[in-house]
Amino acid sequence: MSLRTRHRSRRSLSSILGAAFLGTVLFGAVPCGAATPSAATSSEAAPSAAASSGTTGASRLDAVLSAGTLRVGTTGDYKPFTYLNPQTQAFEGIDIDLAQAMGKALGVKVEFVKTTWGTLLPDLLAGKYDIAVGGVSVTLERQKAALFSDPLMRDGKTPITLCQNKDRFQTVADIDKAGVRLIVNPGGTNEKFARANIHAAQIEVHPDNVTIFDQIIAGKADLMITDAVETRLQQKLHPELCAVHPDQPFDFSEKAFLLPRDIVLKLWVDQWLHRAVATGEYQAVVDRWLK
């Protein structure tokens, strides 16, 4: 099946993809019993997670608690999830606030460790951090070596281009023509999508996902194909740019936190997420960055 056909057949999914953050779609109604805000202490979370996994050995969760620090890997180049503010040198965004809230629930400090899309998984496997956050997509390559939390949102790839070119780049077939210049940030799912689907058009790699949109405005590239959530935000930040069809993306993917293969840590993170959804904490963070 061609991407074009798949795109058409996914129309019924578009209403879901429009606002597919966790809680609104993925979990639907979370059992009310989970909403006991004052019960989120580390002293009770760790043993219950260990018991339900059947694990008796040490977990990364124990290491985080005894170190008093949760080390969080993030790229800092992907609004609205993770952004390294050059003025303050502080990370900000949805996933940054969620990581801070996890640290608070565990009673530990949060230390952010900068990484890149290409080194996100190797740095996790090398033990440079305990969790990676910031709009991370669930992929088989990552699942082969690591674990993911429950999904945070659904999304998919869609073009963003100068508004005057919007009609030119509706389908992958429209884009994949000699002379078209597609720009991608390296090492993540955008480059992977481009290499798998674009053969006749030119693929230009731009190392910085923050300044990549200025390249399109400056006429150095014709378009980017990226996550619909990013196109929705970037068209607001750059009025010259238009997301092509963010409600009907070319493919389907999920965002989640990336974790080492440590089931106790994963269970704690998932239970914390369910609680954050049930209490409204999760939605409050999303609204802070997207409203």
Ligand X SMILES: O=C(O)C(=O)Cc1ccccc1
Structure tokens at 181: 């210049």
What three-state secondary structure class fits 187? coil
Q: Which of 21, 78, 83, 129 binds ligand X (CB under 6 A)?
A: 78
Q: Return the range that interacts with ligand X (CB under 6 A); candidates 29-37, 97-105, 166-174, 184-192.
A: 184-192
Residue 260 touches ligand X, criterion: CB under 6 A? no
Angle in degrees, 0-180, between the axes of helices 42-53 and 263-279, rounded to the nearest 10: 120
Distance of CA 117 to the CA centre of its chain: 11
Q: Which of 26, 45, 46, 136 binds ligand X (CB under 6 A)?
A: 136
Q: Which of 95, 97, 227, 251 binds ligand X (CB under 6 A)?
A: 227
**In 68-188, which ranges are continuous DSSP H helix?**
94-106, 120-125, 140-143, 172-175
Residue window 190-209: x/- pattern of binding to ligand X, with contact defined by CB under 6 A: x------------------x
State which of positions 3-62 bind ligand X (CB under 6 A). none
DSSP lists the bridge partners of residue 202 as 181
Comparison of 103 and 249: residue with beta carbon closer to ligand X: 249
Residue 188 touches ligand X, criterion: CB under 6 A? yes
Q: Characterize the bridge pairing of strands 258-259 and 147-148.
A: antiparallel
Q: Which of 76, 80, 135, 151 binds ligand X (CB under 6 A)?
A: 135
285 touches 104 (CB < 8 A): no
Residue 185 touches ligand X, criterion: CB under 6 A? yes
Q: How far is the CB of 284 from ligand X (least distance, A)?
A: 24
261 touches 35 (CB < 8 A): no
Binding residues for ligand X, total number by CB under 6 A: 13
What does the angle CA 208 – CA 213 – CA 218 come to, to the nearest 5 degrees?
A: 110
Please provide residue 42's backbone torsions phi and psi, each rounded to the nearest 5 degrees.
-65, -35
Nearest position to ligand X, beta carbon: 188
Residue 230 touches ligand X, criterion: CB under 6 A? yes
Residue 93 touches ligand X, criterion: CB under 6 A? no
CA distance 290 to 229: 10
Residues in contact with ligand X by CB under 6 A are 78, 117, 135-137, 185, 188-190, 209, 226-227, 230
